[in-house]
Amino acid sequence: MDNQDLRKAGLKVTLPRMKILEILENAEENHHTAEDVYKLLLKAGEEIGLATVYRVLTQFEAAGLVRRHHFEGGQAVFELAGDGHHDHMVSVKTGKVVEFYDEIIEERQRIIAEEHGFKMTSHTLILYGEFEDE
Amino acid sequence: MDNQDLRKAGLKVTLPRMKILEILENAEENHHTAEDVYKLLLKAGEEIGLATVYRVLTQFEAAGLVRRHHFEGGQAVFELAGDGHHDHMVSVKTGKVVEFYDEIIEERQRIIAEEHGFKMTSHTLILYGEFEDE
DNA sequence: ATCGGATTGAGAACGGTTATCATATACTTT
DNA sequence: AAAGTATATGATAACCGTTCTCAATCCGAT
Ligand SMILES: [Mn+2]
Ligand SMILES: [Mn+2]
Ligand SMILES: [Zn+2]
Ligand SMILES: [Zn+2]
C-alpha cells in the first residue's frame, strides 16, 4: 500500500493521505473511528484536521482502499480493505472486534436472496456479546 | 396489543402511547422511522410531538414491544416485536424491506461464536441489494 | 374531585459527520 | 527551477437525527 495505490485511485499524493494510510497499516488494532485516526495522527506529531481525516477516509472508501462499518455506538469504524470479505463479532463490553468468515453463511445468504428474487450487492453481519476472557 | 400490554410493561396508558401502538399495528408497512410515525400521527389528526414519539418508541423497545434496527441511511427504523426473531433484506433502490429467517445461518452463528469463546447476546444480519421487480 | 408523580411538547442541546471557503500544496508546464 | 493551475487542506459553521430540559398537563390512586 504505497503512493502508487493513491495515484491509481486518482488521488494526489499528499501528506495527510500518506500519513493516514500509514496509521491504518501500522496500528495495533484494525478497526478505527475517524477520531481514533485523528488522535493517532496527533500522537505521531501530525496536525491534520478532523475534517480532512473524514474526507480522506471517505475518499479511500470510494477508491476501495478502506471499508466503513456501522457497529453499535454511533461512530462509524474504518478498516483497510484487505482482499476478501469478512464479518464481525463485537464485544459490547470492551469494543473488541474479531473477524470471521463462514462460507456456509455466505452461501445461505446467496440462496435466500435468490429465493426472494433479490439481487444482493452487499450485506452486514455483526454478532454482539462478550468474550469469555474479559 | 392493548392497554394491558402497556400496564404490564409498567407504562401508564396515555393517549400518545395508545396512538403510537395503533399506528404500528395498523400501518401498511412494518418498518418505520420515528419521523414516519410522527407523520402518520399527524395524518391521523393527532398532534404528538416528535420528542414524544422518540421517547415512547424507546420505552416500547425497553419493554420488548418494539425492535429498533439501523439500516443504511442514518435514521433508525422501528417495528413491532412479534414473537420470534428475523433478519432483513433491504432494497437500496426503494427502501422496501423483506424479512427472513434461516435456521442454518442462526445455527452457524452460534457455532462460530462458541468457537471464539464469545457469548453472543444479539446479532444483526442485513442484506442490501434490489428486488428484481422494481 | 383532589393530589402527587409521571408524561408531554417546544425548543435547546448534543454528537457525529459534512459543507464552506480562504489559504496552502501538489503536480504540470514553461 | 520557477510559475501557473487545479486540487487539497484546516478552521469553523452547518447539518441531521436524536436526546435533554423544564414548565405545563395528564393519569390514576385515593
Ligand atoms: Mn459475510
Ligand atoms: Mn438472525
Ligand atoms: Zn474487519
Ligand atoms: Zn422486521
Residue B94: list chain A partners with CB under 8 A.
none
Q: Please state, in angstroms and rounded to a whole number, the distance separating the CA atoms of residues A17 and A32.
A: 16
Q: Which three cell numbers stand for residue B11?
A: 407504562
- State pLDDT tens for residues B37-85: 999 999 999 999 999 999 999 999 999 999 999 999 899 999 999 889 9
Strand D bases within 7 angstroms of protein beta carbons: 7-13, 16-21, 26-28
- State pLDDT tens for residues A5-21: 899 989 999 999 999 99
Is residue A24 within 8 A of residue A80, CB to CB? The reply is yes
- State pLDDT tens for residues B8-46: 989 999 999 999 999 999 999 999 999 999 999 999 999
pTM above 0.85, yes or no: yes
DSSP label at A10?
T
Locate the chain B residue with the closest alpha carbon to A116: B131
Edge-to-edge order in the sheet of strand B77-80: B32-33, B77-80, B66-69
Query: Which domains, from first to last, does chain B contain?
Result: 3-80 (1.10.10.10), 87-129 (3.30.1490.190)
Locate the chain A residue with the closest alpha carbon to B92: A121
Provide the CA B93 distance to its chain's centre, in angstroms. 20
- Show contacts of A113-119: CB within 8 Å, 24+ apart: A113/B89, A113/B127, A113/B129, A116/B89, A116/B98, A116/B100, A116/B131, A117/B131, A117/B132, A117/B133, A118/B89, A118/B98, A118/B127, A118/B129, A118/B130, A118/B131, A118/B132, A119/B129, A119/B130, A119/B131, A119/B132
Residue A97: list chain B partners with CB under 8 A.
none
Nearest nucleotide (CA of B12 to C1'): D27
Q: Please state, in angstroms and rounded to a whole number, the distance separating the CA atoms of residues B22 and B38.
A: 12
Q: Which of B102, B120, B133 sits opposite A129 (nearest CB)?
A: B120
How far is ligand 3, taken at its centre, from the CA of residue A32, in Å?
10
In this prediction, residues A23-29 reach a mean pLDDT of 94
Q: For strand D, is any atom closer than 7 Å to the CB of A83?
A: no
Locate the chain A residue with the closest alpha carbon to B87: A125
Q: Which of B70, B89, B116 sits opposite A118 (nearest CB)?
A: B89
Query: Quick one: which of B85, B23, B83, B90 has its CA closest to B57?
Result: B23
Is residue A127 within 8 A of residue A90, CB to CB? The reply is yes
Among B124, B133, B134, pick the best mutation site for testing chain A contact (most A Cβ within 10 A): B124
D12: residue with closest CA to C1' = A51
- Apex B31 CA angle, B26 and B33, nearest 5: 105
- State pLDDT tens for residues A68-107: 999 998 999 999 998 899 999 999 999 999 999 999 999 9
Q: How far is B58 from chain A (nearest CA, A)?
A: 16
